[in-house]
Amino acid sequence: MAAGLFGSYRVLLAPMAGVSDAAFRTLCIEQGADLTYTEMVSAKGLSYANEKTRHLLELAEGERRVGVQLFGHEPATMASQAAWVEDVLGDKLACIDVNMGCPARKIVTKGDGSALMKDPVLAETIVSAIRESVSCKVTAKFRRGWGEGDETAPEFAKRLEQAGVDAVTVHGRFATQMYKGRSDRGAIARVKGAVTVPVVGNGDVRTAQDALDLVADTGCDAVMVARGAQGNPWIFSQVKSAFDGCEPPEAPSARDRIEMARRHARLLNARDPRSVVRMRKHAMWYVAGLPDASRARGLINDCSTLDEFERLFDRIVQHVEALAERDEL
Listed in sequence order, the residues at least 6 apart from 18 whose beta carbon sits closer than 8 Å to its beta carbon are 39, 278, 281
Catalytic residues: 102
pLDDT of residue 3: 45
Distance separating alpha carbons of residues 329 and 321, to the nearest angstrom: 13
For residue 219, give the nearest of 186, 185, 189, 184 by alpha carbon: 189
Helices (H), 198-246: 208-218, 235-243
For residue 217, give the nearest of 201, 206, 229, 204 by alpha carbon: 201
- Residue range 11-243, CATH number: 3.20.20.70
Q: For residue range 195-244, what is the model confidence (pLDDT) as tens digits? A: 999 999 999 999 999 999 999 999 999 999 999 999 999 999 999 999 99
pLDDT band at 8 (very low <50, low <70, confident <90, very high): confident
pLDDT of residue 94: 95
pLDDT of residue 2: 42
Listed in sequence order, the residues at least 6 apart from 313 whose beta carbon sits closer than 8 Å to its beta carbon are 258, 259, 261, 262, 265
Residue type, 10: R
Distance separating alpha carbons of residues 316 and 284, to the nearest angstrom: 12
Q: Where along the chain do the CATH 1.10.1200 domains lie? A: 254-328
pTM of the model: 0.93
Q: Where along the chain do the CATH 3.20.20.70 domains lie? A: 11-243
Listed in sequence order, the residues at least 6 apart from 29 whose beta carbon sits closer than 8 Å to its beta carbon are 36, 60, 61, 62, 63
pLDDT of residue 54: 77
Q: Is 127 helix (H, G, I), strand (E, B) or coil?
A: helix
Asked if 115 and 107 touch (Cβ cutoff 8 Å), the reply is yes
pLDDT of residue 5: 53
pLDDT of residue 51: 66
Listed in sequence order, the residues at least 6 apart from 309 whose beta carbon sits closer than 8 Å to its beta carbon are 261, 262, 265, 276, 279, 283, 303
Asked if 29 and 36 touch (Cβ cutoff 8 Å), the reply is yes
Q: For residue range 115-132, what is the model confidence (pLDDT) as tens digits? A: 999 999 999 999 999 999
Does residue 269 have a pLDDT over 60? yes
E strand spans, the chain:
11-13, 35-37, 41-42, 66-71, 93-100, 137-145, 167-174, 199-202, 222-225
Distance separating alpha carbons of residues 95 and 137, to the nearest angstrom: 5
CATH classification number, 254-328, choose in 1.10.1200, 1.20.1080, 2.30.230, 2.60.120: 1.10.1200
